[in-house]
């Protein structure tokens, strides 16, 4: 896991707790007395700092993260009340200052821990929780909603995928044919007939389950929230997109035995499920060469995704249609 000041990009802007504290003190003096601490995270686009017991400071590391953060500030307070799990609603939008060049936000803090990929205990319940969240996102009114990068049909990403396959040729040599077949099947699947609200990045690092941690009081052993979804983070990719995009959690988080429950919860037909494989593969192939040394935990999850997709294919496992 990388600390808030860890370097993810060659041309990123460096931040630290002192800078975050100075920005808060200058622009939001009511919070100036609160302590600021870096938050260890595998996040790639924003540095995070804890601000007292109930708040956090979110600061873009790189220029391309600024517009999504501002979109999140505009939209998350509107949609959060309709969602079944907590979201880090931004309370204030900070301006450039103290040598920092971009907008930044102060958000609500959510206690919890990140789920462990492929953990079997309670996986069906977590799969159902994730399904509830995705269905709630889809039910949001699309009128006037922003769009994301994800509405692009998968075939428009073919060049990027082929480039990354070439970069990873040595590492993927034992499974290269399977990976290529998974991608081609995803591209051949019928496209989405409509765009819906999506979160856009349901990775393990953007999910919180009950179990203590995060600086909050530990959850008691008998607490029914243990292992259940309690919060969803980082809505910077939210907007109208392919409903298959949010199904990536089937492979980047859930063990194979829980995928049936997840697929039923989201009512995914064969075409949507095939496109979902393509979306999660696209993301893994993009992450692995770029973050191999910059963010080893994220690269490890990308390898996990590829291994899960290939194992599923080689097992000849067929997914039942939703009831």
DSSP reduced 3-state for 316: coil
Write out 208-247 in H/E/C secondary structure.
EEECCECCECCCCCCCCCECCEEEECCCCCCEEECCCHHH
Evaluate if residue 138 carries a pLDDT over 60. yes
User: May I ask the CATH architecture of the domain 123-314?
Assistant: Alpha-Beta Complex (3.90)
Evaluate if residue 217 carries a pLDDT over 60. no
Show the DSSP H helices in 168-217 as ranges: 169-172, 176-188
Evaluate if residue 3 carries a pLDDT over 60. no
Give the pLDDT confidence of 37-81 residue by residue, as tens digits: 999 877 788 999 999 999 999 999 999 899 999 999 999 999 999
Closest by alpha carbon to 105, among 123, 95, 119, 92? 92
Evaluate if residue 27 carries a pLDDT over 90. yes
Q: Distance from CA of residue 12 to its chain's centroid?
A: 20
Give the pLDDT confidence of 140-159 residue by residue, as tens digits: 999 999 988 777 788 899 99
User: May I ask the CATH architecture of the domain 17-108?
Assistant: 2-Layer Sandwich (3.30)
Q: Return d(Cα 88, Cα 106) in angstroms, integer.
A: 9
Q: Return d(Cα 231, Cα 133) in angstroms, integer.
A: 10
The whole model's pTM is what? Answer: 0.89
Each domain of the chain, given as residue ranges in start order, spans 17-108, 123-314
């Amino acid at each position: 896991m990388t600390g808030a000041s860890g370097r993810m990009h060659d041309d990123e802007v460096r931040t630290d707790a002192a800078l975050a504290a100075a920005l808060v003190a200058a622009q939001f003096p009511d919070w100036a007395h609160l302590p600021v601490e870096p938050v260890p995270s595998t996040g790639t686009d924003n540095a995070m700092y804890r601000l007292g017991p109930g708040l956090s400071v979110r600061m873009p590391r790189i220029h391309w993260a600024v517009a999504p953060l501002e979109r999140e500030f505009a939209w998350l307070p509107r949609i959060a009340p309709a969602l079944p799990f907590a979201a880090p609603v931004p309370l204030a939008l900070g301006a450039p200052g103290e040598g920092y060049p971009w907008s930044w936000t102060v958000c609500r803090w959510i206690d919890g821990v990140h789920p462990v990929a492929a953990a079997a205990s309670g996986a069906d319940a977590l799969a159902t929780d994730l399904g509830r969240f995705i269905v709630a996102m889809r039910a949001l009114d699309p009128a006037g909603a922003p769009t994301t990068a994800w509405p692009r049909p998968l075939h428009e990403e073919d060049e990027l995928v082929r480039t990354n396959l070439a970069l990873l040729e040595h590492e993927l040599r034992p499974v290269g044919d399977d990976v290529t077949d998974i991608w081609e099947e995803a591209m051949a699947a019928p496209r989405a007939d409509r765009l819906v609200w999506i979160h856009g990045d349901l990775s393990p690092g953007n999910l919180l389950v009950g179990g203590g941690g995060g600086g909050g009081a530990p959850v008691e052993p008998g607490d029914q929230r243990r292992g259940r979804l309690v919060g969803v983070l980082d809505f910077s990719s939210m907007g109208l997109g392919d409903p298959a995009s949010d199904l990536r959690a089937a492979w980047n988080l859930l063990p194979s035995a829980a995928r049936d429950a997840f697929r039923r919860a989201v009512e995914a037909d064969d075409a949507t499920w095939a496109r979902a494989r393509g979306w999660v593969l696209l993301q893994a192939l993009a992450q692995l060469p770029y973050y191999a040394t910059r963010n080893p935990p994220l690269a490890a999850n990308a390898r996990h995704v590829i291994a899960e997709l290939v194992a599923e294919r080689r097992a000849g496992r067929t997914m039942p249609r939703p009831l």
